[in-house]
Amino acid sequence: MKKVYLETFGCQMNVSDSERVATSLASRGFEITPNEELADIFLLNTCSVREKAEHKLYARVGRIRNSGREKPVIGIMGCVAQLEGETLFKKISGVDFVIGTKAVGRVKEAIDRVLDGDRDVADLGERERNYDWSVSDAQRNSPYVAFVPIIEGCNKFCTYCIVPFSRGREVSLPASEIIRQVLELRRQSVKEVHLIGQNVNSYRPPSGSEPSAVAGGLTQSIDNSGLEKFRGATPFSKLLRAVAATGIERIKFNTSFPRDFHADIVDAINENENLCNWVHLPVQSGSNRILKTMRRGHTIESYLKKIDNLKASKREISLTTDIIVGFPGETVEDFEETVKVVEYCGYDAAYIFKYSPRPGTPAFKMADDVTAEEKTERFQRLETVQRNSQNKALRRYLNKTLEVLAEKPSSRVAEQLSGHSTCHKVVNFQGSAAMLGKIVNVKISEIKANSLYGEVAGIQ
């Protein structure tokens, strides 16, 4: 049996694709190995959102090629594969096959062709109509947490971003398929599902498969939940209610697009305990001028209105964000606007990036006029502002009891477990293997930079 070593870079969508590729290969005669020394086939699932992804890929393939053993089959999938296509065969010596972002259901066919002696095999075609979106429990990264894609691609074309080109236009999955998957995951004892998509709340199901139109015995409970009374609500908030009605213990969703983040999403969270109290809402900049150049589709005023609404929720919703510093044309004044937004919002976490031009995006043609030193300075300053604001914000958890899903033994300390709270904070606590997969009440006794620590106060 040929052994496949699968390595994933980038976002949750890539992680999710890899899980389904592993499931498909394992069911079709391959063994997925965590040990690269034993691998006959390397499959690298790549990300192109940041600069140098391609250089990292060259280096990684070079290391595999020069590892002193007989050269394994090497395949590239993900966004770099989609964007570069067959040119990768010329750019990186040793690559045997390339699989585009929509062709992940045909990895086995590509491997078979290479094993049969074909060279430079590329499949950048469309997704097959009967593509299987399910993931077996054996191939998921966690037995207790599962990613469920509900929409792929992006129609927004922010000027700095390559995703609309690498992932194509937005396509939403039928609500019936999503509900079927969540019910199946619940049957497999999964405790937490993450509904994922580049812009999860832009969900627009194909007509006839709206959450309230899902038919059959599977969804009786959903019909009973009274979805009809939410006629006029956004499809995403209806979907959230439908998924909540499956009774799965916890539901998180990521990433939200600010322009499409409507008040009915907060209403759904307020009304359903199993919709978790965490929202990731990327602001990217605090300056309206820069937001316009980024073509983000929101103003800072409209964004802050949504933040105020989230803060007014009775659920105490944890907020996180993404920010780019040093975008073309960003002045000191623009940057100071971003600092103000960070101070105002009190994010539990912010992922701050220095702008780097991505070939193929509209911003690539703009003058990258903020110097590297200025970008570093702004990055460090914003990090300090965020750290101070975060320290203050996280203190609200001190002495509180949080519900934590015990996911795995801590990598650092023996007899310590690690998991996420409903507000998506990493929480570490003393615990035994018997607690894994359970929701544990943890009383928080210590706030660390990126995690919380506490003592078990009970198991649910």
Residues near 362 by beta carbon (within 8 Å), at least 6 away in sequence = 157, 159, 295
Q: At what angle do helices 263-271 and 300-311 cross, to 10 degrees?
A: 10
**341 alpha carbon, distance to own chain's centre:** 24
Residue 225 or 293 with smaller CB distance to ligand SF4: 293
DSSP state of 356: -
Q: How far is the CB of 232 from ligand SF4 (least distance, A)?
A: 25
Beta-bridge partners for 446: 453
Could you say whether residue 269 binds ligand SF4 (CB under 6 A)?
no
Nearer to ligand SF4, 261 or 429 (CB): 261
Binder among 139, 199, 274, 390 for ligand SF4 (CB under 6 A): 199
Least spacing, CB of residue 7 vs ligand SF4, in Å: 23
Under rule CB under 6 A, how many of the chain's residues touch ligand SF4?
10
| Nearest approach, Cβ of residue 288 and ligand SF4 (Å) | 17
CB of 195 to ligand SF4, least distance (A): 16
Q: What is the crossing angle of helices 235-244 and 175-187, to 10°? A: 20
Judged by beta carbon, residue 48 or residue 199, the one nearer ligand SF4 is 199
State which residue, 53 or 244, has the beta carbon closest to ligand SF4. 53
Tokens describing residue 352: 């701050």
Closest approach, Cβ 289 to ligand SF4, in A, equals: 18
Instruction: Confirm or reject binding of residue 48 to ligand SF4 (CB under 6 A).
Output: no
Is the Cβ of residue 11 or residue 239 nearer to ligand SF4 in the bound state? 11
Site string (162-191) toward ligand SF4, x via CB under 6 A: -xx---------------------------
Smaller CB separation from ligand SF4, 81 or 245: 81
CB 366 within 8 A of CB 328: yes
Which string of b and e fits 64-95 if b means at least 16 CB within 10 Å? Answer: bbeeeeeebbbbbbbbbbbbbeeebbeebebb
Look at strands 318-325 and 349-354 and give their pairing: parallel
Choice between 95 and 265, CB closer to ligand SF4: 265
Q: Which is nearer to ligand SF4, 256 or 418 (CB)?
A: 256
For 318, the 3-state DSSP assignment is strand
Q: What is the spatial distance between Cα 324 and Cα 227, in angstroms, rounded to a whole number?
A: 38
How near is the Cβ of 161 to ligand SF4 at its closest, in Å? 3
Q: 259 vs 438, which CB is nearer to ligand SF4?
A: 259
What is the bridge-based pairing of β-strands 121-123 and 97-99?
Answer: parallel
What minimum distance in Å lies between the beta carbon of 12 and ligand SF4?
12
Note whether 198 binds ligand SF4 by CB under 6 A. yes
Report the alpha-carbon distance of residue 427 to residue 442 in Å, rounded.
Answer: 8
CB of residue 65 to ligand SF4, shortest distance in Å: 33
Which residues from 202-261 bind ligand SF4, rule CB under 6 A? Answer: 257
Helix (H) or strand (E) holding 439: strand 439-447
- Least Å distance, CB 152 to ligand SF4, is 11
Contact at 8 Å (CB) between 17 and 46?
no
Which SS3 state, helix, strand or coil, does residue 346 take?
coil
Q: Bridge partners of 418?
A: 408, 428
Which residues within the stretch 146-165 sit at the binding site for ligand SF4 (CB under 6 A)? 154, 156-158, 161, 163-164
CB-CB contact of 240 with 253 (8 Å): yes
Q: Interface residues with ligand SF4 (CB under 6 A)?
A: 154, 156-158, 161, 163-164, 198-199, 257
